[in-house]
Amino acid sequence: MNAWLRQHRYALMVTVRRLIKQPFSSLANLLVMALALALPLLGSAILVSVQPVARQMSVTPEVTVFMRVDAPAGAAAGVAKRIQSEHQDDIRAVRVVGRDDALASLRANPAWQQALAVLPGNPLPDAVVVTLADGEDLSGRADRLAKIWKQWDQVDLVQLDSAWVQRLEAILRFARIGLGFLAACVAVVVLATVFNTVRMQALSQREEIAVARLVGATESFVRRPFLYLGGLSGALASLLAIGVAALALSPLNNALLGLARSYGAEFALRLPGTPMLAGAVLAAAVLGALSARWSVTRSTRF
């Protein structure tokens, strides 16, 4: 165990010395990877910040249950109580809109006054307006609930305007796919950068590697410093990318603050949580190590 730790400590020290020996080249490679990694971080910051705001828009996910015109007076209240008791996990609020209240609201609108004046009575039914709870697949959940409520007694029509829900979900889905594609492109950039860096290091140390093999060094001993080089480069670049993204968010938030306050709202972009950032650092390190292994395997065949 001690020998294994000594070998890894030696490989890590060799890697650090190589990075320090060529500071400008090492810093340039780290900056290239950091700027590439900062792009998906900024994209995830926008996505994470916009999602709760989108869920709190003034247009809420509502389903309207219209009763029959000849339904008893308490039918709407009974349907509202049934919805609350049987679907409490799917809804956020339920309110009953009486036919008289609905007619009064329409009459207050000048566009409807003349049309309603010629009607002999009130043609509007009682209605139950159901606000759905936030969650995934709002459109599918609204369709499922509408099909159930249509089969209830005294219910004439269930109307849901799921178009805005579908648009919202489509926009967020597009953003997630676009962010995934961007992350894949960044992964390719990191792979190529680490691959080329390790390749140049291996080629410049061909004689040293050949001598080490002559005196009995194993392939693991030869390759281990290059694996640390790739992993350490990925980890340092991701940490630098987090710093770059945090610095970039500062002026963006200053610009957004004035815009948001003009609409009477508070909005700010923020980076993802610590677990996600730690996962990104670990993923970058693993990706760098894998790229370094691939490169050193191809570049030390002599």
- Collect all residues with Cβ–Cβ distance below 8 Å to 245 and sequence separation of at least 6: 38, 41, 42, 45, 271
- Collect all residues with Cβ–Cβ distance below 8 Å to 79 and sequence separation of at least 6: 65, 67, 128, 149, 152, 154, 155
Residues in the chain, pLDDT under 50:
58, 302
pTM for the whole thing? 0.58
Residue 58's pLDDT is: 43
| 9: helix, strand or coil | helix
| CA 211 to chain centroid | 50
**Cβ(8)–Cβ(224) under 8 Å?**
yes
d(CA 182, CA 37): 10
Give the tens place of pLDDT for each residue, 37-72: 888 888 888 777 776 665 555 455 678 888 888 888
| CA 109 to chain centroid | 42
Token pair 């691939």 is found at 294
Residue 148 is encoded by which pair of tokens? 């159930």
Which of 299, 239, 179, 188 lies closest to 30 in space, CA to CA? 239
d(CA 225, CA 229): 6
DSSP-assigned beta bridge partners for residue 91 = 132
